[in-house]
Chains A and B, each alone.
Chain A
Amino acid sequence: MGSSVGIVSAQCAQFDSPLLFKSGAVLPRYELMYETYGTLNAARSNAILICHALSGHHHVAGYYAKEPENIGWWDNMVGPGKPIDTDKFFVVGLNNLGGCHGSTGPGSNDPATGKPYGSSFPVITVEDWVESQARLADLLGIRQFAAVVGGSLGGMQALQWSLAYPDRVRHVLAIASAPRLTAQNIAFNDVARNAILTDPDFHGGDFYAHGVVPTRGLRLARMLGHITYLSDNAMADKFGRELRTEKFNYGFDVEFEIESYLRYQGDKFAAYFDANTYLLMTKALDYFDPAYDLNGDLNKAFAAARANYLVVSFTTDWRFSPERSREIVRPLLHNHRNVSYAEITSAHGHDSFLMPDEHYLGVMNAYLDKVHRECVA
């Protein structure tokens, strides 16, 4: 379905007014990497913001002229004739603040010291991200988004948009997400963080100066994460008990295919991802709770919302299970918001939100068609 948006290029937006973080920290200036696809219409009513999840970035769709194999992470969803149709919408993807793909983050040089921020980079929240994204929207001349779309941690940002800026977003598409993490989910994040924090190469977050990277910690964090992104069945189907060798070696080297796969994924990730960014992203996940100041009452938290919502979950996703998505739906029903909820039968666990499942794409397509009809009207 659809084709590629083709050659794209990243842009860098500079912000010189200080950003006050929820924690109280202040970042005097910062940069955000972003990409746009499609054309903003004259009424400026057809913009869609894509918020990324833990390891995502601004390269959402298409490919780079010099790197044709570097295809955007959501290319099956975004492009001409695809559900987020770049012939109809003006699509904005960015690398979140604190990221490691060009936006200001712990690995960037702090102008005050000339050294990487490292451990001094403020702990960032979903609220802070939305604030920085709103400034990017201002810069791009977008007063109101037709839709803000995100999966997982990206879904939390999309939800937060409708709470922080109720009049700046018409539709929220929250996919494989949650209104706040459960204890189990925070626990997974904590184990991942501990893997990084206890790596001797981490140096309290200031490893850049030592010319090392906490590869072992990052790799373990990713391996653990990866297990939780897949379903039991998907893993069984893909790897089963297959061995790399013909028989057991009675040792502790890699023997099962799943071990090999996880180590490969861990190594691949550790080679490019910043350990501090990983810590920040997981902390942002843990902290997000729109009802934190409201005695946990999500009904009250969503009282300010004015957007229309599509909430999507996947049956085999146990990291952000359908029940978590229903926790988003219920306060929306309570507050009489327009909301539709689809529970997609999928074998791929949490990763399903990135997969080209026919029904999933059909639901997205139907909903975004409606969004587009409103843009034109």
Chain B
Amino acid sequence: MSANAMLATRPDFAAIAAWIPQGASVLDLGCGDGSLLQYLKSERAVRGYGVEISDAGIVACIQNGVNVIQNDLDSGLSDFESNSFDYVILSQTLQATRHTEPLIQEMLRVGREGIVSFPNFGYWKNRRDVLFGNMPVSKELPYQWYDTPNVHLCTFHDFEDLCAVLKVQILERRVMTGDSEIKALPNLLGSMAAYRFQRGL
């Protein structure tokens, strides 16, 4: 896939890439087919590894020339040493992790900084769907309630509250709907966001 085609399907990639300096070391959790790492390799010359649980993802990563370690994120990151990466990324996967809280802490044990992107359950269209009586189904939340892997959906407020509890310091946030950046009323008007964070003091 070309870099442009990738950005069209995953607008959060550009936001994430913008935060990553040339030559950084990156661990991408729940890396799927490795397209983010492939993008970061071509755009930022990163040295990186992906972690993925699905068999199809493993094969796709290898085909894409991306290092990938088959592992269940919910069993932790014990294969990875402390402070061994500049960035640990969890893109569009947070909401599908079971042990979300320890995973965020693991991210900041292994990485100097963490980056997460996730869909905003507080986005107005999602609120509208629930108001009218149905679970939202959208581009960001493409599943039915009965087949969704998303067990920990949250709003931006919720995530930021958790960061405060975990003493995680948010360094930057980029809120988007589609590929446009949202500045005003983000928790209402933004369909997804990417956060960059580090261990708080």
Contact = CB atoms under 8 A, between A and B. Distances in A.
Contacts of A167: none
Nearest to A334: B81
B79 A336 contact: no
B59 A341 contact: no
B102 interface: no
Given A326-B79, A330-B79, A333-B84, A340 B59 contact: no
Given A333-B84, A343-B71, 8 more contacts: A334-B84, A336-B25, A336-B47, A338-B67, A340-B58, A340-B61, A359-B55, A366-B62
Interface string B77-97: 001110010000000000000
Which secondary structure dominates chain A's binding surface? helix
A359 B79 contact: no
The interface centre, meaning the residue of A310, A326, A338, A366 with most chain B CB atoms within 10 A of its CB, is A366
B121 interface: no
A370 B61 CA distance: 11
A340 B47 contact: no
Contacts of A342: 55, 58, 62, 70
Contact-residue size bin, chain B (C-beta under 8 Å from the other chain) = 10 to 19
Contacts of A164: none
A199 to B, nearest CB: 43
A366 B67 contact: no
A185 interface: no
30 contacts: A329-B69, A329-B79, A330-B79, A333-B69, A333-B81, A333-B84, A334-B81, A334-B84, A339-B69, A340-B58, A340-B61, A340-B68, A340-B69, A341-B68, A341-B69, A341-B70, A341-B71, A342-B62, A342-B70, A345-B55, A359-B59, A362-B55, A362-B59, A363-B58, A363-B59, A366-B59, A366-B63, A367-B62, A370-B62, A370-B63
A110 interface: no
Contacts of A232: none
Interface of B: 25, 47, 49, 55, 58-59, 61-63, 65, 67-71, 79-81, 84
A340 B79 CA distance: 13
A288 to B, nearest CB: 22
Interface in A289-343: 310, 326, 329-330, 333-334, 336, 338-343
